Amino acid sequence: MSKVIQKLNCPDCHSATVVKNGKKSNGQQNYKCKSCDKQFQDEYFYNACNPEIKELMKPMLLRGSGVRDICNVLLVSINAVLRLILKWGKQVQIKPQKKYYQRVQIDEAWSFIGKKEKKVWILYAYCSESKEILAVTMGKRNKSGSPLRQNQRLT
C-alpha cells in the first residue's frame, strides 16, 4: 500500500515549510506553517472557514452584491457573511481626499438592534461630486452620540 503525499503550501505566506499539527474536532487534518506560525486545513468542513472563500466575499461586497446573493453563490451562511462585514468594517478608515468641499450631503437613518427600544442612528456625510463618503458615525441621537452632527455647519 502506497501513500500519496500531497505537497502543501501555506495559504498566507506561500511557504513550503508546512507540517502536520494534529486533527480538528471534526476529524480534519490540521497543518501549521513553520515560517509564519499560521494554522490551516487542506479541506474545510464549512465553506465560510476557507480563506479562499473569504477572499471571494470581499470583491463581491465591493461590487454591490447583496448578502443573500453571496450566501447563495458561495454556499455560506448569512451569519458568516455578516461577521466578515463587521470584521472588515472595523478595519476601514475613511480618509477624505480634500480638506474642504464646496457641497456635502449629510443624511441620517435609524434601525433597531435586537428590540425596538434600542434605536441606533447612522449619520454620514457624502460628496456627490466626487462620490466619496467623508464621515460616518453611529450611536444615540443626542449630543454625546454624534460628533459628526455637532460639527456640521449649515450655510
Helix-, strand-, coil-residue percentages of the chain, each rounded to 5: 25, 30, 45
Three-class HEC string of 47-75: HHHCHHHHHHHHHHHHCCCCHHHHHHHHC
50 and 39 assigned to the same domain: no
Task: Give the CB-side neighbour count of residue 83, counting CA atoms within 13 A.
Answer: 9
Question: What interhelical angle do 78-91 and 51-62 show, nearest 10?
Answer: 70
Asked if pLDDT for residue 66 goes beyond 70, the answer is: yes
- How far apart CA 144 and CA 141 sit, in angstroms, is 8
Query: According to the model, what pLDDT value does residue 58 have?
Result: 87
What is the extent of the structural domain holding 109?
Answer: 105-151
129 assigned to some structural domain: yes
Do residue 118 and residue 146 come from a single domain? yes
pLDDT-wise least confident of 23-37, 72-86, 133-147: 133-147
pLDDT at 154: 43
Considering the domain architecture, whether residues 50 and 88 belong to the same structural domain is answered as yes
Q: What are phi and psi of 66, to 5 degrees?
A: -75, 165
- Is residue 59 in a domain? yes
d(CA 131, CA 109) in angstroms, rounded, equals 19
Residues 6+ apart with CB under 8 A from 55: none
* Domain match, 117 and 132 both: yes
**88 and 112 fall within a common domain:** no
Domain assignment present for residue 2? The answer is: no
Identify whether 133 is part of a domain: yes
pTM, two decimals, is: 0.53
Rounded Cα–Cα distance for residues 105 and 152 (Å) = 10
* Tally of structural domains, the chain: 3
Residues 28-59 pLDDT 10s: 888 888 888 888 877 766 777 777 888 888 88
Asked if the structure places residue 97 within a domain, the reply is no
Do 58 and 29 lie in one domain? The reply is: no
How large is the greatest C-alpha to C-alpha distance in the chain, in angstroms? 82
User: Would you say residue 54 lies in a domain?
Assistant: yes
Residues 59 and 76 in one domain: yes
Whole-angstrom CA distances from 92 to 22, 51, 95 are 35, 20, 9
- 131 found inside a domain: yes
pLDDT of 132 strictly over 50: yes
In a domain, residue 99? The reply is no
pLDDT at 152: 55
Share of the chain above pLDDT 90, in %: 3
% of the chain exceeding 70 in pLDDT = 84
Q: Are residues 111 and 143 in the same domain?
A: yes
